[in-house]
Each structure stands twice: as C-alpha cells, then as structure tokens.
Amino acid sequence: MRKLLLLFLILTGSVAYSQKNINGKVIDKNGVPVSFTSITIKGKKTGTQSDQNGEFSLKVSLNDVLVFSNTSFVTAEIAVNNANYYPVTLQNKENTIQEVVVTSAFNITRTSRSVSSNIQTISADKLNTVRSTNINNALAGKVAGVQVRSQSGAALGRETAIRLRGENSLGAGTGAIYVVDGTIVTNANDINLDDIEELNVLQGPSAAALFGPDGSNGAVVVTTKKGRKNNNTGIEINSALYFDNIFVTPQYQNAYAGGSAQDLYQYKWQTGQPEGWKALDGKYYHDYSDDASWGPRIAGQEYIPWYAWYGGHENSYKTARLTPQPNNVRDFYDRGVTKQNNINFVKGGDNFKLRISYTNLDVKGIMPGSYLQKNTFNSSMSVDISPSIAVNANINYLNQKRNSENNDGYSNQSAGSFNQWFHRDLDMGMMRSLRNLRTPEGIYASWNHKNPGAYDPNNLVSFYGANFWLNPYTYFDLIKTPDTRNRLYGDAGITVKITKDLKLRGTYRRNQLNTAGTLIYPIEMENSSSQSSFNPFEGNGLAGYGIDNSSDIRQNYELLASYSKKIKSFQINANAGVDILKSLFERYQINTIGGLKVPGLYSIANSVSAAKNSNPNSPTGNPQSIIPLKQRAWFLRGDVGYKNFVFAEGSFRRNFISSEPAGKSIDAYSVGTSLIFSEFFKEKKILSYGKLRASIGQVNNRLLPFQLYNTYAPNASDLFTMSEPNTFIDPNLHGSVNTEKELGIETRWFKNRFGVSVTYWDRSNTDFPVNINISSTTAYNGFRTNAGKIEKKGIEIQAFVNPIRTDKFDWRIDASFAKLKNKIVALAPGITRLTVANGAFAGSSSAYTVNAVNQPWGQIFGGGIKRLNGKPILTVDGLYTKQNEVNFGSVLPDYTGGVQSTMRLFTNFSLNVNVDYQVGGKFFSLSDFWGTYSGLTARTATLNDKGNSIRDLVADGGGVRVDGVDATGKDQTFYVDAQTYFHQFRGSNIAENSVYDLTYVKLRELSLSYDLPVSKLFKNKQISGINFSLVGRNLLLLYTKVKDFDPSEISQVQGEDGQMPGIRSLGFNIKLNF
C-alpha cells in the first residue's frame, strides 16, 4: 500500500511539474500589439485570448502546441519549450487591413475596428519622417480636421497651437490637451518626438469624454517607445544637423532712402561742433531722425552716411555712395544651426523590459545672440514580479536653457523695425561691423540719430543717441532675456491580475514644471537713447530689471479596474476607476519702476519706485498669484463586440472640482456603435474592409478658479487698498457645455490598395460664462451668468492609395481634407458682438477680431473704403472716404488638409514628401499697414500708368492714379502725391488694404534616405542598421495669395503685429542601430 501511494505521489508530482504558467505578447510585423487574439492549445479545449495590449498568460504543458488566430492575420502555431515568455509575431493576411490599437484616457486601449468615433492614429515613422523639435509642426497636413498654427522658427522655444475642428469658446479659445503615457503635459514643446511610438488624435467630446473637462476640446494622446520582453540589448544613435535660413520676407522698395522728404540737405560746419565734422562741410545728407523711408531717390550719389558722424572707426567723417540694399534685411539674420542627437538603449528579459533615452537639442538661432539648449531624459521600465503582479514606471525629465527675445509685437527691434520703421538704404554689413561703436561718453551709435543741427555739446545724447532705434545688433548684444525650464513628469504603477479576466491597476502621476526668467534692459540703453522706449515694463527708455518665476505641480492618483472576457460570440470589455487630482500653480512676476537707483545693479531692490508687476494681464500690479485646484472623479466605460463585427461602447465620468460649488458635479459621457459591414461581403474580393460608426458625446467644462465668487481686489498703488466687488454672480453659474454627434464610414478596396474614411460631425458649444453690463442702480455694474451658443459642423476625409506595391518599388499616397463651418448663434442678452482679440493700436489703426451673432467665428472688423456701385467714393482731394466697421471675413480657414507621398525604391531608398494646405480665412497685417505708411513696402515706389514713379511730383507726371466716384456717383480720376496717398490709410484708420488671405499650399517636409547594406559592408554583426537621410523643412510655398508672409505662421488671432520671418531648414540625419 505504501509503495502504491509513493508511486501515485511521484506520478502526480511529475504531471504537476510538467505544467507551468507562461506569459507572452502578440504583435504584428511592426511591433504593434494585436488585441483579442484567440490562443488555444491544439487538440484541447482550453485556451485564452490576448488582452487589449496583446498580452496573455496560460497554463500549459511541455510540448503543447499553441494556436494563435485572428481574423486579420495568418494563423500561427508555436510549440511550448522551456521558455516562460513567448513573443509571437503574426503576419497580415494579404486582403485584410492591419489592426490598429487605439489609446485613449488612462492608457485604455481598444482595437480600431471597435472604435465609434474618428480617432486618427499616426505612427512614429510617419510623424517624424523629418525629425522635428515640435509635435504640432510634425502633425501639419497629416491629420484631417487639425489646423496647425505654426510660429516662426526665429522665436526659439515658443509653443505653437493647433485647432481641432475650429474654435470652441467665445474668447481666444483653448486648444487640445497633450497626454503622454496617461500624463497630461501642458506644453507641447516638452514632448520629445524621438521617444514617441505613436499618437492618437481624439477630436471632441465623443472621443475624449473620459478625460472630463480637460478633454472638452480634444486630446493628442502620445504613447512612448518601450522595451520588449526577451529582446536582445539594442542601442540606437540618431543624429541630425540642420542649417536654418530666412525663408519669407516682405517685398520692399529699394529705390528711395530714409527720411521724411526727398531732399538731400547740405551740411555747414559751425563753431562748437566736433572738429572732425569739418571734413563733411558742404556735403549732403538725408534725414536720419525720421525713421520712415520717404527720402531721396537712391542713385549712387555721394552722401554722408549715419555712421560718419561718429569718431573712432575707419569710416569716420567720410562720405559714401547712396546705393540700393535689396538684401539688407536678410543679411541681418544669422544662419541658424540646429543639432539634435539621441541615444537610446533597450533591453528585455523573461519578466522585464527597459528603455532609456537621452536627447540633446542645441539650437543657435537666426537672431543675433539667441540660443536654445535642451536636454531630455526618458526612461520606461516594467517588471513582472510574479505571474499576477507587475510594476511599471515612466519618467521624463527636461532641462532647457534659452536666450531669445521672442517679441513679435508692433515695433519690435527686428522685424518690427525692418517691416514698419526703417531706412531702406542701410548697409547691414556696416551695422554689423559697428555694433560696438560708441562715443567716449559711452553712447552707442544709432542709424536713427538726429540731424546735425540738433548737436548740443552740453547734451550729447540729444544728437548721438537713438531717436527711436539703436543699431539692431547693438540692441541684441545688450538685451538679456535668459530663462530656464525644468520639467519632471511621469508615472509609477502596479498592476494585479485578480483573475485571468480581471485586473486592477494603481497609478501615481506627477507633472512638475519650474521656470525662471529674467529680463535686463541695461543702463547702456538708457544712456544711448534720446526718446526711445525700449523698456517694456514702463514704455520708456529707462533701464529696467524684471523676473518671472513659476511653479506648476499636478499630482494624480488613479485606480483602474479592467475586465475583459469572451463569452461565446461576445467580447466584453469594461473599465471602472477613480481619478484624484491635486494641482498648485504659483507665479511671481515683478519688475523695477522708474529706473535703477544704482546704475548697472540689476536687482528688484534697486528700483527707484516701488517695484510691481507691469504685465497688462495683472492690472493691479500684484506680483504673486497662487491658484490651487482639486478634483475628484469616478468613471465607467465599456464595450461589447459580437463576432468581432458589431460593437457598442459607452463611457461616463463625474467630476467634483474645487472651483465649483460644493457637492455639484460636472459630468461627461459618450456612447457609440460601429459595424464592420465588410463581414457580409467576404466573397466580394473588391472590398477589403468596410465599417460604419456613429457616436455622441457631451462634456461640461469647469469654471475658472475664483470665477464663482466675488472677491475684493487689490488696487494698483503703493498703498495696500482694496476695491469692492461690483459684479453680481448668478448662483447657478457653470462652465460651458460641449455636445457633439458624429457619423462615419471607413472602407478599404482592392486588397488594401485604396482606402477612404469620411466623417460628418456636428457640435454645439453652449452656456458660456459671460459678463453682462447692468444698471448701477442695482449696486452692481455687471452680471455674470451663462449665455451664448456656437454651432459647428464639418466633414473630414482621410484617404490613401497604394498604386505600386512590389518587392522593389512601393509607393503610397496619403491625403486628408476637412471642411469647417463655425458659427456664432447667440451671445448674451442684449449683446450682438463680443471682442475676441485686438492687435496693437486697437480701435485706431489696427483691425480687430470679434464674434458676431449669425456670423462665423472670429470676424475681422476695421475701417474700409466706402463704395458706391462698387466704386470708391473720393473726396475733393482724391482720397478715399472711410466706411466704418467693415467686416473683412473670418480668421478661420474653410478647408484644411495635406498630402503625403512615400516611395521605397530597391528596398534601400526612401523618398518622403509632405504638403499641407488651407483655403480661406483672413488676417490683418500691422507690419504691412505701418510699412506702407512709412514707405518701406514695394507698392509705395511703383510706376504709375504714365510710366513715371509715383513718388515724382504730380506736376512732373508722378503721383498715384486714383479712380472712383464722387458722392453723386460721377466718375472721378485724380493723381495724388504718393506720401499723401499712403498716409491716408493711417490717417483715416483704413485697414482694408492690409487684410490678406490665409490660403496657402506648402511643401512642408522632404526627405531622401538610404539604408546601407550593413550585412555586406560589415563582417561585425554588432551593427544591425545604418540609415542616412537628406532632409528639408518649410522648403517652399507652392501657392499663396500673400507674398510678404508665410500664412501658416501667423502668430496672433487677428493676424500679425510684427511677424518674425519664416525659416527654411536643410540638413541631414544619420541613424545607427547596434
């Protein structure tokens, strides 16, 4: 009996020993997880399926054969051996579409066929074909419904913006959120493209409802690269070098010099003036003090240049020839150099995966003295502690140092001068060489000093100092705008498998940003200015010092339960969780007032008057702001699929936020369904894939902190005084409500050679918090309540064609198109128009942007030319009669899109082209407005119909021909002095001639790459790949209605106030894999 028992125990033990738990992951040939793959043991009834991330676990015996089946892939079989982890790669069926995994809030993944809204996925190779430092620029033209509002590359480190399906607020609007591995990142520039695996663009409430109020305007969800289990150690080095040059500048006139009059003035030396000036006696000069270019004709004549009046250099007291300088603006800018280097390390074992990445970005800007240095570290790790417990962490750290004055407002010291107030005869090479020129008294030389008659030996700065403008090189050498930026963000979590169908994940997220900025307007500027106003704090010429420091800390605590089970023909996935947010934003911004007590000592304590915050957004002058925010939320989501071709999904989130009344919740929901109708036509080989989808979602926005309560406000004075609140607040005040409905169809044809996706969407944004003026007899001046409505609708089309697909030549074209209607239906009671944005000189010379009832969002209004039967009405002097409040159109384009072409030749060569476009929309150019007034633009020096210069005297056949009618409608023709003609637009505040179209077609990216045949070149197998690429960005405006600016880089809502020039980049990239 004992022997039999012993034998039974031995046999039982051997059987138990032969069984074991294994783990694995199912991926496609590109490494993308394949979700919900059926995994069975051949010849047995037991099995499982991969989860949403393609991962699986199963109890097996040695020599079992595992069968992996998925409708989109070729069935694969793998024998069980001694390994504990099994990475399985499935091959696509030729006539099926590759399954895509879509990532949304809380890193919840779904298959693309089950998604009911238009979520667009872009892989890293398509996003970063030409390596970019800005994720928004990389998106241009690649996502339907996205308008990328780029910025000039001259403004180093400035954040760009995108519009997802137009604008959603009554004000300037807020954009989409950016989410990296589940963590919200508040600045897109802090996302390193070298670490991106793929991104998903979630447009609107129906797609992003699970994010709650943060996702009301959509979300860009980024998944970063990770290591892979059972993967050999891999090292990749990726280096790029770009050379940046000026791309687009306005068209200038090059026929007339600086000054206010066409006369040259003869200089007569006088007693008391510098002895060196005697050499200039009897010579001629043009007006230096006026910073316009209505001066004498440039004809090579002898004259006294601006620098001749200063001693101490080789051209002191010498004349020169007055010659054209057509490239002087281009010559000002340096050649920029961008160096981008990344090294990353990956490693994986049976129970862990690891990736570590470091990127260094070093940019020498085109603005003199500007630079940006950024170091980014990324680390991702996951470890399976046991078959049921796994831990993971994602850590990102960024350190940035920058010196770049990114002012592109009116009258800024670069483009704001060159395009608005400048002398077209200035030799930029001479200004560069004389950047350090100054008098013995320390006054820096200026091209814009006063005329010699203003010389006063007792007040030398009155002549030698800058009237308005320093030498631009001197300015950028003296100005100091250093700032630093440190961001740490990421997450750490633990996942516990309760059962094979249920798992629980806890995550802690932290996003911490610290910035420190300094602005120094040095004493040398104050001592070199006669009436200049370089100091932005006070608008005068006094030296100044300011600091701007901030801290932003967001902490999230998340708990997520996920359930996934297949019951016969039904696939059920469900999630439930909680999300707790604690946020604290602090900012300290202060500057000196009245100059510096001790010259050259840059300290807040050295302020002559009491220091304060001069930021116009802080009218009280209070230097410190503290904004805490707390949020608690719970959420549910789920989807059900039947036989992998009919799906229904829904989500709900309830938020409790500290800026809302206690106990009041803010809700968000979405529901949707999709049908893979191609399953009914499997015999129709022409149709590879077909899907119908529909969804609806709603997200309620939260109120801004402190918006709900009346508070006493500190006054802007040296004494601590407070103002009583004067706004009555609706006790039922709440955030706006975004509701969206969406319908779509997706098809693939001819064995996936052609595909098209069409989406129609309709959204309403209602109940905005607004202030309404009320009678002061109520003891209040305003009433804050909910009102207003925006209606939007649009069509988005994504298509591709793969006309050639062979072993040696593969050509694919992708295209996107979107049409938008964005209409203001209602504002507040009694209000038909609301200002959105003003440019400089708002209400006088500049146009401005408003939202008007029954008009598209963002209408540009301003002074126009009054017409009768389509003809201008002229005054008795031949000038235009002004028409007030002319509507020039919306700032939003009607259509946007792009085309990408990818060719792979002979397996080694690749050619990638990206073209993006937009049609419609308007912008106002303040540079053109003032540049025309000051005689800089090309149109101020053309020929008239008589073949004479319009700047010639009217009596001599010159002048601008003006055709129109008088007040009775009678035809009139005048010839008007050019300066008088062009000055009328500023004098009468007529903006019409400076409103332009935003339409463009742009060759955004181009790359030609070559994969070296390393197996033939190197016997050493340590090198697994070498890729060399020639690349270019912003190469060419293929079509545009405006020649003076790049419409894709207009910086302000209403247009541009002093736009920096566009930049073209050419360079190369080399990537090594080990």
State pLDDT tens for residues 983-1017. Answer: 999 999 999 999 999 999 999 999 999 999 887 78
The count of C-alpha atoms lying within 13 angstroms of the C-alpha of 682, restricted to the half-sphere facing its C-beta, is: 5
Q: Give the single-character DSSP code of 97.
A: P
Q: Give the residue with greater pLDDT, 171 vs 901.
A: 901
Where on the phi/psi map is residue 845: left (φ > 0), alpha (ψ -120 to 50), or beta?
Answer: alpha
Confidence band, pLDDT 50/70/90 cuts, at residue 628 = very high
Element (H, E) at 477: helix 472-478
d(CA 366, CA 337): 8
pLDDT of residue 927: 94
**Strand intervals (E) in 449-543:** 482-497, 502-521
Query: What torsion, rounded to 10 degrees, do the Cα atoms 762, 767, 772, 777 define?
Result: 150
Report pLDDT for 16.
Answer: 41
Q: Identify the pLDDT of residue 617.
A: 60
Whether 437 has a pLDDT exceeding 60, the answer reads: yes
Chain-centroid distance, C-alpha 496:
39
Fold assignment, 18-89: Immunoglobulin-like (2.60.40)
Inter-residue contact 396 to 509 (CB < 8 Å): no
The more confident residue out of 256 and 807 is: 256
pLDDT at 318 over 80: yes
Tell me how far apart the alpha carbons of residues 823 and 341 are, in angstroms, rounded to a whole number: 46
Structure tokens at 724: 């009583």
704-741 pLDDT tens trace: 877 777 765 555 555 555 556 677 788 888 888 999 99
What's the pLDDT tens digit per position in 448-461? Answer: 999 999 999 999 99
The confidence score (pLDDT) of residue 9 equals 42
Q: Which pLDDT value is given to residue 145?
A: 93
Report the candidate in 1024, 934, 980, 985 with the shortest Cα–Cα distance to residue 250: 934
Per-residue model confidence as pLDDT tens digits over 533-590: 777 788 788 999 999 999 999 999 999 999 999 999 999 999 999 999 999 999 999 9
Q: Is the CB of residue 666 less than 8 Å from the CB of residue 660?
A: yes
pLDDT at residue number 18: 57
Q: Which residues contact 335 (CB under 8 A, 6 or more apart)?
A: 243, 244, 245, 366
Residue 52: pLDDT band by 50, 70, 90 thresholds?
Answer: low
Q: What is the pTM of this model?
A: 0.88
Amino acid at residue number 515: T
Number of C-beta neighbours around residue 300 at 10 A: 9
**Helix 926-933 vs helix 978-987: crossing angle, to nearest 10:** 140
Per-residue pLDDT tens over the stretch 590-605? 999 999 999 999 999 9
- Indicate the range of 46-50, 760-764, 1024-1028, 1055-1059 predicted with least confidence: 46-50
**What is the pLDDT, as a whole number, of residue 819?**
97
Average pLDDT in the 762-775 region? Answer: 85
666 token code pair: 């803010």
Tell me which amino acid residue 407 is: N
Q: Which residue reads 């706006």 in tokens?
A: 736
Counting residues of the chain whose pLDDT is more than 70, the rounded percentage is 93
Q: What is the pLDDT of residue 15?
A: 41
In the chain the first and final C-alpha atoms are separated, in Å, by 63
| CA 216 – CA 206 distance, rounded (Å) | 9
* pLDDT at res. 844: 54
| Residue 977 pLDDT class (50, 70, 90 cuts) | very high
φ/ψ of residue 962, rounded to 5? -125, 120
* pLDDT for residue 10 is more than 50: no
Tens-place pLDDT, residues 165-179: 988 888 766 678 999
For the cut 90, the answer to whether the pLDDT of residue 1063 exceeds it is yes
Instruction: Break the chain into its structural domains and give their ranges.
Output: 18-89, 926-997
For residues 930, 936, 937, 941, the Cα torsion angle rounded to the nearest 10 degrees is 130
Amino acid 210 reads: L
Output the average pLDDT for the chain.
90
Q: What is the pLDDT of residue 999?
A: 96
pLDDT value at residue 625: 86
Residue 787 has pLDDT above 50, yes or no: yes
pLDDT tens digits, one per residue of 503-528: 999 999 999 999 999 999 999 999 99
Which of 83-97, 696-710, 827-841 reaches the highest mean pLDDT?
696-710
Strands ordered across the beta sheet of 859-865: 833-838, 848-852, 859-865, 882-890
Residue 5 pLDDT > 60, yes or no?
A: no
| Per-residue pLDDT, 7 | 42
Question: 22 pairs with which residues across the strands?
Answer: 58
The two tokens of residue 456 are 């006063």
For position 4, what pLDDT does the model report?
A: 44
Please check the confidence at residue 38 and state whether its pLDDT lies above 90: no
What does the pLDDT read at residue 510?
97
Residue among 622, 507, 604 nearest 555 (CA): 507
